[in-house]
Structure 1
Amino acid sequence: MSDKWDPDGVDLAKALVARAKANGRAGGARRRSRVGRRSSTGVNASSGTGWSGPGHDDRDPQSLAAAVEKLANEHGWEEDLSVHGVIARWDELVGPDVAAHVTPERYEDTVLTVRADSTAWATQVRLLAQELVRRLNTAVGHGTVTRVEVQGPQGRSWTKGRRSVPGRGPRDTYG
């Protein structure tokens, strides 16, 4: 370009068009060589830049259910989510009478721990434990629950209240 100022910008425009044509010739050859070199991840194999085509792609919008399912599969949460789903539907699976007196507390290593509000209900659920395992495995998947551990009501705590005493407490009361 010349050192003179061009009020119409003709020289500048000509220079830009010439540069674009030169880049276009080189880019056109490069573009033709990239066709068909898309990797399975949708990333251009030669340059590493992503580009999308008319087919399905991981970057396409997805439903919330599909995104949550993919997240659970990636982290191995399927079993935990299904067990927590069963706990949410506890009264449907065991019936309203049992659900009123027995609540699930935790699930670890295929063992479901439940707590009964009385020793009578704890004994009743212990007798029905195999039926409960069968129902839970039907709802969640075979082998997910292998055993139901039943705990009775919690014992009284002597550490709080008006009549608590400092020190060892009422140890001699129980023989």
Structure 2
Amino acid sequence: MTGAGDDDALLPAPTAVPDGVPVAELIDLTPPEQVARAALARAKAAARARGLRPGVTPSRPVSSGSAPGPRDPQPLAISAGLLARDLGWEPGLVVGDLVHRWAQIVGPQVADHCEYVSFAAGLLTVRASSTAWAANLRLLAPAMLARFDEALGPGVVVQVDVLGPVGHGFGRGPRRVAGRGPRDTYG
């Protein structure tokens, strides 16, 4: 253990101050302007290290107090939509919404004679129940696109491809019909 006398040995010996001489002249003091310039230089260096530049406003949003801001709690619909967008689920959600609301979007009469087949990259493929309905749906495609824009958002469905009916395969087997066989409709 060191005693109290050891700490006194570390301090410089007091010097005598002549009478009438200010203490500031005896001690070499840094002028206040130089201290201020050094502090400003340190503050600028710290700001540069954090990525801040003169004249550029910080990217942190300014809170106005009572107005809603981005850090406030958001409704679940907005939060779920942002989550779906960030995770890349939007195309699957659009297809699910389209299939779920198919009769509501295209109308009950069209929904009775037309079914959803696939949707990829803005191309909606549907299958008609007969060749007559397939021809009718090809003529109604622009009106259907307008309904899809209203229901799903603009530019989600950009083209409608209409397929005809699929019949039974009578081409093989013991009961095969010779000749052309049935052609038009199976519904």
TM-score by length of 1: 0.52
RMSD: 3.5
Give the Å deviation of 1:107.
Answer: 0.1
| Shift in Å, 1:106 | 0.6
The Cα of 1:83 is off from its aligned counterpart by 3.4
- Opposite residue 169 of structure 2, the aligned amino acid is S
Matched, 1:173 2:167: no
Counterpart Cα distance in 2 of 1:107 and 1:133: 13
Distance 2:77 2:157 in 1: 25
Q: Tell me, yes or no, if the aligned pair for 1:83 and 1:140 is still in contact at 8 Å.
A: no
Aligned AA for 2:90? E
Q: Given the alignment, which residue of 135, 139, 159 partners 2:151?
A: 139
Structure 1, gaps ≥5 residues long: 1-57
**Counterpart in 2 of 1:90?**
102
- Alignment correspondent of 1:8: none
Do the aligned partners of 2:170 and 2:177 also contact (CA within 8 Å) in 1?
Answer: no
Q: Which amino acid in the other structure matches residue 89 of structure 1?
A: R
Taking the aligned partners of 1:137 and 1:63, their CA distance within structure 2 comes to 25
Post-superposition offset of 1:98: 0.9
* Shift in alpha-carbon separation, 1:67–1:157, aligned structure 2, 3 A: farther
Partner of 1:25: none
Q: How does 1:112-131 map to 2 (within 5 A)?
A: 112-131=124-143
Deviation of 1:105 after TM superposition, in Å, equals 1.1
Question: Which string of whole-angstrom CA distances, capped at 9 and with x for unpartnered residues, describes residues 24-67 of structure 1?
Answer: xxxxxxxxxxxxxxxxxxxxxxxxxxxxxxxxxx9xxx987566
Distance across 2 between alignment mates of 1:65 and 1:155 = 43
Match of 1:78 among 64, 87, 90: 90
State the structure with more CA Rg. Answer: 2
Question: What's the TM-score once normalised by structure 2's chain length?
Answer: 0.49
Counterpart position of 2:111 = 99
Which amino acid in structure 2 is aligned with residue 157 of structure 1? Answer: G
Residue 88 of structure 1 deviates from its aligned partner by: 1.0
